[in-house]
Amino acid sequence: MPLVTLLTDFGLRDPFVGEMKGVLHALVPGLHTVDVSHGVERGNVREGAWILGKSWSVFPPGTCHLAVVDPGVGSERRAVVAAAAGHLFVGPDNGLLAPALRDAGAAEVREIAVRELDRVRRGTTFDGRDVFAPAAARLAAGRAVAEFGPEVHDPVPLAPFDPRPEPPGWSVEVVRVDVFGNVVTAAEESFLRAELGEEWRRARVRAGQEWLHGLCVAYDDVPEGEPMLSIGGSGTLEVSVSRGSAAERLGLRAGDRVLVAGPEV
Q: x/- string (CB under 8 A) for a second copy, residues 198-237? A: ------------------xxxxxx--------xxxxxx--
Q: What is the CA radius of gyration of the chain?
A: 20
Q: What are phi and psi of 204, to 5 degrees?
A: -120, 155
| Strand pairing class (3-8; 64-68) | parallel
Applying CB under 8 A, the site for a second copy has a residue count of 70
Instruction: Name the β-bridge partners of 169.
Output: 166
Count CB-CB contacts under 10 A for residue 10: 23
| DSSP for residue 244 | B
Residue closer to a second copy (CB basis): 131 or 258: 131
We find the least distance from the C-beta atom of residue 132 to a second copy, in angstroms, to be 13
Site string for a second copy, 3-42 (x = CB under 8 A): x-x-x--xxxxxxxxxx-xxx-xx--xx-xxxxxxxx--x
Site map 52..91 versus a second copy, x via CB under 8 A = --xx--xxx--x-------xxxxx----------------
In whole angstroms, the minimum distance from the beta carbon of 139 to a second copy comes to: 17
- Three-class DSSP category at 215: strand
Question: Of these, 105, 116, 125, 157, which contacts a second copy (CB under 8 A)?
Answer: 125
Binders of a second copy in range 239-258 (CB under 8 A): 240, 243
Interface residue with a second copy among 179, 198, 209, 264 (CB under 8 A) is 179
Among 161, 180, 199, 248, binds a second copy (CB under 8 A): 180
Pick 121 or 164: Cβ nearer a second copy = 121
Contact call for residue 160 and a second copy (CB under 8 A): no
Phi, psi torsion values for 180, nearest 5 degrees? -85, -5
The CB-of-151 to a second copy minimum distance in angstroms stands at: 25
Q: Strands (DSSP E) along 160-256, which ranges?
A: 164-166, 169-177, 183-188, 204-207, 210-213, 227-231, 236-241
Binding residues for a second copy restricted to 86-115, rule: CB under 8 A:
none
Cα 12 to Cα 18: distance, rounded to the nearest angstrom: 9
Among 87, 129, 204, 249, binds a second copy (CB under 8 A): 129
Q: Is 115 left (phi over 0), alpha (psi -120 to 50) or beta?
A: alpha
Q: Tell me the C-alpha to C-alpha distance, in Å, between residue 139 and each of 49, 65, 90, 134.
A: 20, 10, 9, 9
Q: d(Cα 112, Cα 79) in Å, to the nearest integer?
A: 5
Q: Which residues bind a second copy (CB under 8 A)?
A: 1, 3, 5, 7, 10-19, 21-23, 25-26, 29-30, 32-39, 42-43, 51, 54-55, 58-60, 63, 71-75, 119, 122-126, 129-130, 178-180, 189, 216-221, 230-235, 238, 240, 243
